[in-house]
Amino acid sequence: MSNTHADTVLFVRDTMLPQEEPPSSTVGPVGWAKTNLFSGWANTLLTILSILFVAFLLQRLLPWFIAPTWHADSLSECREIFVGIARHHEGACWGVIRDRWQQLMFGFYPSELYWRPILALLLLLVALGPVLFAHLVPSRVMIFSVIYPFILPWLLWGGTVWVSVVTLAGFAVGYGVYKLALRAVPDGFAVIIAAFGTIIWWLYLTGPIANGLASVLPLALEPVASRQFGGFMLSVTIGVVAIACSLPIGIVLALGRRSDLPLVKWLCVGFIEFIRGVPLITLLFVASVLLNIFLPPGTNFDIILRVMIMTTLFASAYMAEVIRGGLAALPKGQYEGADSLGLDYWQAQRLIIMPQALKISIPGIVSTFIGVFKDTTLVSIIGLLDPLGLATAIRADTDWNGIYWELFLFIGVVFFLFCFSMSRYSMYLERKLQTGHR
């Protein structure tokens, strides 16, 4: 039967046709534009409208942007420049940035001491190295990350180094007390006793000991008063301190909220919900007018420190909720596995639960960071000179009265760079830590 084929079929092709090129309208730039820009009448209309919009924006913005006003010393001088080159519309007056960028960066910090905030920022990058790029930086640098929060205030505010050193020594004292207490009581109690010891050290012993050491060996930098702080330096300082302190407090609050002990749980719930229920600005009002009333008579500490305390409390409530989400997302088997290995509560948290929960919560943690950093601008409302506060001051200056786009563009771009890089970094970290559980 098979032979009939050759008889009935007149022609059989025994070679393949060469592949044809795809139609030119489906490949290359034309094809791309057809699928992505002009795939229907609605899309075409949208595309044309957007192109017109972008063209209009560029046509208006570009001449404004490339105005030769870099060397102008006041807004009226800018206007003279525009009259001189006979432009029919105004351009940007970049002189204000040249004139005031140092102020926007450092506030009224003495200019001969600019090296200190700059060094602090560089050291911050070093300190963040092992946290951000754990696989690239040797883990010994981590020690530096731990002591950095104590170097930062000394560099910025100046004064004697011994306050930072003795405060740092509080942790060593706490650890010593913990080891001693461990001989008498179990783990949890030892932690409580150690915390007590550390607090007593900080409250009652740090001042006298630091003073004593400073009188023996004064290792001091020139002190800078808080009212000279300002600009992005202030924002970054408040942001970094709030972020660094809120993470541990947030972890403790999150654990407390998930605790089996009803009293601990309700205290944590009450704190978190209260802080999350009120705007940050009310907490800053507390910092500026009320905190002194809550503290022992005669206590009067720095406004920046008070703001940092309230911002930290604010950030830690949000951080706690983010971490609680991470804890809740862990499968129950992880907790049971830890129990079955015979680990106690803290060991299980440290070795099994927290590393995974924190990993899950990274996007949330970073977005809380970004939020806190943006929220540092609110301090301008209680009179601190952050970039926005300075912008108000500059706009009130007779030289620059009536200027706004250039200033806010500059401030906005700097904020954007900070926040955008943070969010991109969190995406990178998420991808890197993705170990394929899903």
Partner 1 sequence: MTTLSDPPAESFKLSMLVYDTRYRAITFQIIALIAFLTLVGWLANNTIQNLADLGKEPSFGFMFEPAGYDINQRLIDYSSQSSHLRAAFVGLLNTLLVAVLGCITATIVGVIVGVLRLSGNWLIARLMTVYVEMFRNVPVLMWIVLCMAILIESLPAPSAFRGDDPASTMKLFDSVAITNRGVYVPEPLFARGLGDISVFGAFDISLDLIAILLVLGGSIFVSRRIGKKADATQEATGIRPRTWHIRTGVLLLPVIVLLGLLGFHFGYPELKGFNFAGGTHMRNSLIALWLALSLYTAAFIAEIVRAGILAISSGQSEAAAALGLRSNRIMSLVILPQALRVIIPPLISQYLNLTKNSSLAIAVGYMDITGTLMGITLNQTGRELETVLLGMLVYLAISLSISSVMNLYNNRVKLVER
Nearer to partner 1, 67 or 161 (CB): 67
Of 228, 237, 223, which Cα lies nearest the Cα of 158?
Answer: 223
Give the dihedral of Cα atoms 59, 64, 66, 71; nearest 10 deg. 170
Give 276-281's long-range contacts (Cβ < 8 A, gap of 24+).
276/317, 276/318, 276/321, 280/310, 280/311, 280/314, 280/375, 280/378, 281/378, 281/381
Q: Where are the alpha helices (DSSP H) in 66-114?
A: 75-84, 95-106
Give 421-427's long-range contacts (Cβ < 8 A, gap of 24+).
422/366, 422/369, 422/370, 422/373, 423/366, 423/367, 423/370, 425/132, 425/366, 426/362, 426/363, 426/365, 426/366, 426/367
266-285 residues in contact with partner 1 (CB under 8 A) are 267, 273-274, 276-282, 285
Nearer to partner 1, 51 or 180 (CB): 51
Of 171, 162, 149, which Cα lies nearest the Cα of 247?
Answer: 149
For residue 295, what is the DSSP state? S
By CB under 8 A, is residue 393 in contact with partner 1?
Answer: no
Q: Is-contact 281 381, C-beta < 8 A?
A: yes
Stretch 102-131: interaction string toward partner 1, x if CB under 8 A: ------------------------------
How far apart (Å, rounded) are the C-alpha atoms in residues 356 and 323?
A: 11
* CB of residue 141 to partner 1, shortest distance in Å: 29
Nearer to partner 1, 188 or 355 (CB): 188
Q: Is-contact 236 121, C-beta < 8 A?
A: yes
* CB of residue 412 to partner 1, shortest distance in Å: 5
Contacts of 137 by beta carbon, 8 Å cutoff, 6+ apart: 129, 130
By CB under 8 A, is residue 395 in contact with partner 1?
Answer: yes
Helices 95-106 and 387-396 cross at an angle (nearest 10°) of 140
Residue type, 36: N
By CB under 8 A, is residue 260 in contact with partner 1?
Answer: yes
Nearer to partner 1, 127 or 255 (CB): 255
How far apart (Å, rounded) are the C-alpha atoms in residues 105 and 114?
A: 10
Nearer to partner 1, 70 or 405 (CB): 405
* CB of residue 38 to partner 1, shortest distance in Å: 9
By CB under 8 A, is residue 199 in contact with partner 1?
Answer: no
* CB of residue 68 to partner 1, shortest distance in Å: 22
* CB of residue 310 to partner 1, shortest distance in Å: 12
By CB under 8 A, is residue 375 in contact with partner 1?
Answer: yes
Q: How many residues bind partner 1 (CB under 8 A)?
A: 62
By CB under 8 A, is residue 36 in contact with partner 1?
Answer: yes
Q: Is-contact 188 346, C-beta < 8 A?
A: yes
Q: Which range touches partner 1 (CB under 8 A), out of 115-123, 127-135, 212-220, 408-416? A: 408-416
Stretch 53-72: interaction string toward partner 1, x if CB under 8 A: xx------------------
By CB under 8 A, is residue 377 in contact with partner 1?
Answer: yes
By CB under 8 A, is residue 29 in contact with partner 1?
Answer: no
By CB under 8 A, is residue 408 in contact with partner 1?
Answer: yes
Tokens found for residue 354: 């927290």
Q: Which range touches partner 1 (CB under 8 A), out of 16-24, 140-148, 245-253, 367-375? A: 367-375
Tokens found for residue 185: 């009581």
By CB under 8 A, is residue 182 in contact with partner 1?
Answer: no
- φ, ψ at 220 (rounded to 5°): -125, 145
By CB under 8 A, is residue 219 in contact with partner 1?
Answer: no
* CB of residue 437 to partner 1, shortest distance in Å: 18
- What's the length of the chain? 438
By CB under 8 A, is residue 388 in contact with partner 1?
Answer: yes
127-156 residues in contact with partner 1 (CB under 8 A) are none
By CB under 8 A, is residue 380 in contact with partner 1?
Answer: yes
Tell me if residue 160 falls in helix, strand or coil. Answer: strand
By CB under 8 A, is residue 185 in contact with partner 1?
Answer: yes
By CB under 8 A, is residue 402 in contact with partner 1?
Answer: yes
* CB of residue 407 to partner 1, shortest distance in Å: 9
User: Which residues here bind partner 1, judged by CB under 8 A?
Assistant: 35-37, 39, 43, 46-47, 50-51, 53-54, 185-186, 188-189, 192, 260-264, 267, 273-274, 276-282, 285-286, 289-290, 292-297, 370, 374-375, 377-378, 380-381, 388, 391-392, 395, 402, 404, 408, 411-412, 415-416, 419-420, 423
